[in-house]
Amino acid sequence: MSLLSDFMLLALLGGIGLAVISAPLGVFMVWQRQSYFGATLAHSALLGISIGLFLQIDLTLSVILISMLVAAAIFWLSQHKQLSSDTLLGILAHSSLAFGLVLISLQDNIQIDLMGYLFGDILSINSIDLSLILLTSILILLFYFKYWGALLNVTLNPELAQVEGINVKRVQLLFVLLLAFMIALSMKIVGVLLVTSLLIIPAAAARKLSTSPEQMLGFSIFIGVCSIIGGLFTSYYIDLPTGPSIVVVATILFLLLQLKPQPNR
């Protein structure tokens, strides 16, 4: 008799949870011009899947491990860089994707569902996924509780932040690892395209409404949650693919907000 079937309720809870945890990471990706970073990590997740299949270990675990390894690699390379981070990310994104595909093709009897890879399957969220999302949100809350101001200062100017006594490398590395963890986790649920969309689009849309970083975070959460709810219900009632519907709703919200003039002239 309930209005929502069980799977819809789980999808809603999981989706809202993901929107909430991607907002604090997404705003910093936008502020630091790192949107490609998310894409790279999402691609490297495929390598995680194929290694997991190859070694016959739990896929979620292997995706998380590989993503965090790639994140650490990016971090290390950017510290000792001869290449621009743009080039670096391009190389890592596509090489890890290629390695992943090659490794998968070496194994017999395995086919990957490309749509599933791109858009995940939010309707198949289970309680384990939900508890992982909860765990991530606790990690993120702890991180921001301690480092919100520090991360803002690092975003403003890393050198100034370091002179002012912030351990810039530690803050950056923790942020990157957290991002990798979150992306790996939500990969399976919402897929590669949705992860990056969920990180970037609500944050970008929130800019128009905000005059402070905290406001932008708040609006970003709100817009993300609206996109999830809107996307889920449109797909439920008009029978559209769920993942893409969520991205479409988020994009429409973003476009609508572009019509609004800047709050701070």
Partner 1 sequence: MHFSNFRQPLIKAENVSHKYETNTVLQNISLQIFAKEIVTLIGPNGAGKSTLLKILLGLTTPSQGTVSRQKNLKIGFMPQKIHIDPTLPMTVERFLQLGLPNKHQTLFSKFKLGSFKAAYGNTIIEKTTQELDIVNLLKQPIQKVSGGEMQRILLARALIREPDLLVLDEPVQGVDLQGQTEIYDYINKIRNEHECGILMVSHDLHIVMKHTDEVLCLNRHMCCTGHPQTVSKNSEFQALFGDLSESLAVYEHHHNESCQLTHGEASHGLSAQNKHHEHQINTTSKPKGGK
Written as one letter, the residue type at 109 is: N
Instruction: Decide: is 58 part of the binding site for partner 1 (CB under 8 A).
Output: no
* Choices 4-12, 98-106, 147-155, 177-185 (CB under 8 A): range interacting with partner 1: 147-155
217 alpha-carbon distance from chain centroid: 15
| Binding region for partner 1 (CB under 8 A) out of 40-48, 98-106, 153-161, 234-242 | 153-161
Contact call for residue 163 and partner 1 (CB under 8 A): yes
* H or E stretch at 79: helix 59-79
Residue 157 contacts partner 1 per CB under 8 A: yes
Exposed, middle or buried, 106 (CB in 10 Å: 0-12/13-18/19+)? exposed
Interface with partner 1 by CB under 8 A: which range of 37-45, 51-59, 155-163, 252-260? 155-163
> What is the smallest separation between the CB atom of 73 and partner 1, expressed in angstroms?
23
Among 54, 167, 213, 229, binds partner 1 (CB under 8 A): 213
DSSP string, 181-221: HHHHHHHHHHHHHHHHHHHHHHHHHHGGG-SSHHHHHHHHH
For residue 156, state whether it binds partner 1 (rule: CB under 8 A): yes
DSSP summary character for residue 124: G
261 near partner 1, rule: CB under 8 A: no
Report CA torsion sign: 220, 224, 229, 233.
positive
Binding site for partner 1 (CB under 8 A): 30-33, 144-150, 152-153, 155-157, 159-160, 162-165, 204, 207, 210-216, 264
